Structures are given as C-alpha cells and as structure tokens.
C-alpha cells in the first residue's frame, strides 16, 4: 500500500537455486508511484536512491 512499485501476475516457473526458491512471473499489472525515493540493499545495509528528473 505504501510501496513505490508493485507487480501482480501469475507464477510461470519456479527454480531452486542454492538455498533459495526463485519465482519467475508473467506480470499482468505493474504500478509505479511518482513520489518518494527508492531503497536498495547493498553491502549489508539499506541505502536511499534519490529520484532524478526524467528527460521525457
């Protein structure tokens, strides 16, 4: 509900990779909000990624 982006779809394939289960989906709906900064997880910590102006 407060996510900057979300995907909805059906699982097309599932693979076991090491100790993880990876699900590949066929997206039917993609939603992206226009406000807020993104987060990434890198080097065992979360970092903000500031939004930049688009050249569209």
Domain boundaries, the chain: 5-49
CA 12 – CA 24 distance, rounded (Å)? 6
CA 43 – CA 36 distance, rounded (Å)? 22
* pLDDT score, position 32: 86
* pLDDT score, position 20: 96
Strands 38-42 and 45-49: antiparallel
State the average pLDDT for the chain: 88
Task: Indicate whether 55 pLDDT > 80.
Answer: no
Which of the pair, 8 or 39, is modelled with greater confidence?
8
Partners of 17 in the β-ladder: 20
pLDDT digit string (tens) for 16-42?
Answer: 999 999 999 999 999 988 888 888 999
Whether the Cβ atoms of residue 49 and residue 40 lie closer than 8 Å to each other: yes
Could you give the angle at the alpha carbon of 51 between the alpha carbons of 24 and 40, nearest 5°? 45
pLDDT band at 53 (very low <50, low <70, confident <90, very high): low
């Amino acid at each position: 509900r407060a996510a900057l982006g979300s995907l909805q779809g059906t699982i097309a394939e599932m693979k076991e990779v090491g100790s993880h289960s990876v699900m590949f989906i066929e997206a039917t709906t993609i939603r992206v909000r226009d406000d807020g900064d993104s987060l990434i997880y890198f080097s065992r910590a979360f970092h903000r990624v500031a939004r930049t102006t688009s050249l569209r």
